[in-house]
Structures are given as structure tokens and as C-alpha cells.
Amino acid sequence: MASLFNKVVQFANSPKGKEAIRQATDKAQQMAKDPKTRAKLDDVRRRVQGGRGGNGTGTGTGTGTVR
């Protein structure tokens, strides 16, 4: 797996990789400013940070047997 990681690092350091990273960053910042996207993120954040008091429709991490 180290060779795959090295290839990713090489790409990220190349001019094409830097351009791809810059474009992805710009797109993410643009989406973060969109009110609809922000509302979706706030909803997800509220559900995730809400703890165990939810309505039970999420997958959660507590799928194992309770002892």
C-alpha cells in the first residue's frame, strides 16, 4: 500500500495535482457558502451531535449485542 500512497503524494505535488486540489478547494468553499448546502450540513450536524436521543432511524455505531 505504500506505493499507492507514494503515487498519491506524487500526484498531489505535481502541477496537475495542485490544480485539482485548488479546484476542489474552491468548489468546496463555494458549496459551503450556499444556504441550501449549509442547511443540509446543519441538519446532519444536529443529528450526529444529538447523541442517543434520536428517533432510531440512523445506523449508529451501537449495532452489537448489549451485555
Q: What's the domain range around 40?
A: 16-47
pLDDT tens per residue, range 8-40: 999 999 999 999 999 999 999 999 899 999 999
Q: Is pLDDT of 50 > 60?
A: yes
Q: What is the residue whose three cell numbers read 500512497? A: 5
The answer to whether residue 26 is domain-embedded is yes
The answer to whether residue 4 is domain-embedded is no
pTM above 0.85, yes or no: no
Q: What is the residue whose three cell numbers read 444529538? A: 50
The answer to whether residue 30 is domain-embedded is yes
Q: How many domains does the chain fold into?
A: 1
State which H helix or E strand residue 25 sits in. helix 15-33
The answer to whether residue 61 is domain-embedded is no
